[in-house]
Structure 1
Amino acid sequence: RDHTIHFALIKQLFDIIFTSNKTIYIWGIKNELFPFVNFKLFSHEQLHSITPINLQHQFKLFRNEQRQHHHRISTSDNILEDNCICEQCIGKKPSELWSLQDSTAYLLKEYLPKTLTREKFNIGLDPNLFNLDFKEKHYRQQLTTYALNACLSMQRILIQMKNAKFEIKFHSNKQSKRKLLQLSPISSDDEDDLLYLQRTSSLSKP
């Protein structure tokens, strides 16, 4: 339906988002967006022009900085208590990246289901695009809800990193040198937004 006003407005929004001067946070690599080019909302050229920051990679650096290894604690009863949750102690390899679900669990103390992680999100989620039965509509609603919660989780993880004044290091497409982005603490308005998200998000506590 690329001739409709709604399509034109959504495409205009992507034109604004996918401009070369924008910095976009992603979880993984931007190649995962390539299958969606078929919907003609954005192009391969636009995806190649953006400067993505892989939040998945940055989170690993952030957590290693925040959760360094420490030795066991001796209690008053002379019992060694091992409460270290560094990557080594929880069994995560140095080369192993964090999934969004694990990051959400450890940092936000919330549960993000993994069942839909590897589903095909480029099938067309708008129930009005096709004549769908109840099962097909329900499945697309599940995908939409999962994608929404994933985006909200990324935003809230980024807010936590901002509060900790974590410095993000990344490479720009326009310059070969490494850039440094220091995240500023969130403002009171951001805190209000976060409170709203926490109240409206459908993420469930473990």
Structure 2
Amino acid sequence: MAPKTNRNKRQRDRKAEKERLYGELFAPYEPSHPYSLHFVHNATTCDELKMFIDNAQTTTNFVFDTESNYLTNFPSIIQVMFMKQIQENSLVLIIETAHLPVESSYEFLQLKQLFYLIFRRQSHIYTWGALIDELTPFLQFNLFHLPVSSYIHNTQQVFKLWFNDWLAFQSTLNDNDDQDNDDTLIINAPAFDPIIFLHPLAINNIKRSRNESWSIQDATAYILNQYLPKKCTLRQWSIGLDDRILNRTRTFSSTYRKKMISYAANDCTSLAAIITFMYQSHIPSALQCVQYPSDIGEYSFDQEQNGSSLSFQVHWEDITTSDDEDMDYPMAVHDINERHSMEISNAEPYHQQLHDDNVLTIINDSNLLNDNINIKQKIRQRRTVQAQKRRNQKTSIRHRKNRYIYEIIRPVNMSIKLVKNKLKEFGINYLNVNIVRSQLYIGLKSHQDQIEYENLLSMNSFV
């Protein structure tokens, strides 16, 4: 327990240091979209709900986020942004699911109608992460059903591909000495702790090679050059944010509530700003989306051929989709601290090696940093028996690591034998499977397999 406790403390310290550093490097985040904030709960009137419904009928682009209580994980709020033209006012709703109208009321029926309109087939839903994972805990409130028929855009998984393409595009511009192009993104990464703030090329190569996901805070810093605070992530979100809620928890001050409200709204508006930036960049990889039709309930990966429905897009006609079958579309995304480990005798688990606090693990890989960091060559020496054994163990770890370059993660409560039988039933060709603390890790051969099987395996396939 002590090593785990120490590791958690280091992670907390690193997050606190990142908050401090970003706060010093960048101006505080300011929404680029004008918006009006509204709450939905048991004190919301029928007229207010009617206004939200009318707005939903004329909106096709929605940004979603959710928050749950710290420790208990009780699903507490749903944030929805009705994304309009950049110069138009957008609605941002904070739906407080701990304080909903009674299910038999007319207000509750209106709320269900609102979700029905939001999730209609013509809608585009944007999230930072998988929508189905965000919304599944909220099914208990009977506001909507899953799957939905809308076009689903997991901006987090598209961002990594787009950022790579954007850097390549920027490099091409630099090679052509085209310094007057208004689309050029200039990022001057300062010389700070490389664990916290890497050069854009370095962090891009690391995340792609390890299939790590971007946090929305990092994305905001690297492309918007603004600091998006994340200090309110671990909070009790069911306290009742709006003063109109009579049974709200009164031990929290209005200042505390205002900070949480600002945090919840900024999660939507910052994602809207990132989406707008990506689509206006004229990079084809920004056109990706994921759709799961309601009749089969399965994901299908798609690239839109017509962007006319995206009302916030400027200069859409200049963007063309890519038919390159070799494009790298990462589907499975997970945070750096959620990676699993493997037990190998007398050897450190490879996932732990990848994410160890020792910065040398990151910077001493020339393949990752593409010669951005000079590496001191080690002098060859005659190995002892023990050294040879350690070398063989490291080689074994490296081979095992390579089996999980493309992986899918699912919750599991069955034996490894039953898991393998199920995978055979699904017709899934896997390289390796491993179970760590009720989490199943499936190593696959290629990105194409990863995309296909990610769509095939639901979150409940092994529970």
TM-score (norm 2): 0.33
Contact kept, 8 Å, 1:23 with 1:53, in 2: the verdict is yes
Mapped partners of 2:106, 2:278: distance in 1:
38
| Larger Rg belongs to | 2
Residue 65 of structure 1, CA deviation: 0.6
Which residue matches 1:103?
219
Of 22, 26, 33 in structure 1, the residue corresponding to residue 127 of structure 2 is 26
State the alpha-carbon separation in 1 of the partners of residues 139 and 239 from structure 2: 12
Match of 1:46 among 146, 171, 178: 146
Matches of 2:302 and 2:251, distance apart in 1: 49
Match of 1:75 in 2: none
CA shift for structure 1 position 129: 5.0
- Given residue 278 of structure 2, which amino acid in structure 1 is its aligned partner? M
What is the alpha-carbon root mean square deviation over aligned residues? 3.3
> What SS does structure 1 have at the residue aligned with 2:252?
helix
Cα 1:165–1:122 shift into 2, 3 Å: farther
Q: Distance in 1 between matches of 2:136 and 2:256?
A: 22
Q: Deviations over 1:140-199 (max 9, x none)?
A: 433322111111111111111121123322342238764212657427xxxxxxxxxxxx
| d(CA) in 1 for partners of 2:230, 2:250 | 25
| Corresponding residue of 1:169 | 288
Residues 124/135 of structure 1: CA separation in 2 closer, same or farther (3 Å cut)? closer
Query: Percent identical across equivalent pairs?
Result: 32
- Partners of 2:128 and 2:156 within 8 A in 1: yes
**146-155 or 163-172: which moved more?**
163-172
Which of 1-10 and 100-109 deviates more?
1-10
- Equivalents in 2 of 1:166, 1:91: separation in Å? 18
Match of 1:181 among 300, 304, 315: 304
Q: State whether residues 20 and 50 of structure 1, in contact with CA within 8 Å, keep that contact through their aligned partners in structure 2.
A: yes
Deviation at 1:136, TM superposition (A): 5.9
Distance change (3 Å), C-alpha of 1:186 and 1:119: farther
Change (3 A) 1:16 1:136: farther
Q: Structure 2 residue aligned with 1:35, among 137, 162, 183?
A: 137
- 2: distance between equivalents of 1:138 and 1:34? 31
Letter in 1 for 2:158: Q
2:161 pairs with 1:61:
yes
| Residue in structure 2 matched with residue 135 of structure 1 by the alignment | 252
What letter is aligned with 2:116?
D
Residue 302 of structure 2 aligns to a residue whose secondary structure is strand
**How many residue pairs were aligned?**
174
Question: Would the aligned equivalents of 1:104 and 1:111 in 2 still touch at CA under 8 Å?
Answer: yes
CA deviation vs aligned residue, 1:88-133 (integer Å, no higher than 9, x gap): 2677432121111111111111111111234454665444052421
Instruction: Check the 8 A contact 1:19/1:46 in 2, yes or no.
Output: no
Contact 1:18–1:47 (8 Å) recurs in 2: no
Tell me how far apart the structure 2 counterparts of residues 177 and 33 of structure 1 sit (CA, whole Å): 18
Secondary structure of 2:273's counterpart equals helix
- Kept after mapping to 1: 8 A contact 2:119/2:148: no
Q: Answer yes or no: is the 8 Å Cα contact 2:240–2:249 preserved in 1.
A: no
Residues 1:155 and 2:256 aligned together:
no
Greater shift in the superposed pair: 11-20 or 56-65? 11-20
On the 8 A contact 1:170/1:179 being kept in 2, the answer is yes
Q: Quote the Cα distance in structure 2 between the aligned partners of 1:6 and 1:137.
A: 27
Distance verdict in 2 for CA 1:107–1:6, change over 3 Å: farther
Distance of aligned partners of 1:24 and 1:86 in 2 relative to their CA distance in 1, 3 Å threshold: same
Amino acid at match of 1:93: K
What do residues 6-50 of structure 1 show as CA deviations (whole Å, max 9, x unaligned)? 44433322111122442211101121222233444x23x234544
- Structure with the higher helix share, 1 or 2: 1
1:176 to 1:109, Cα distance in 2 relative to 1, 3 A: closer
Aligned partner of 1:13 in structure 2 is 114
CA distance change for structure 1 residues 131 and 59 in 2, over 3 Å: closer, same or farther?
closer
Partner of 2:231: 115
CA gap 1:176/1:108 in 2 versus in 1, 3 angstroms: closer
Take 1:131 and 1:86, find their aligned partners in 2: how far apart are those partners?
Answer: 44
Deviates more, 1:58-67 or 1:19-28: 19-28
Gaps of 5+ in 2: 1-100, 172-187, 190-198, 316-463
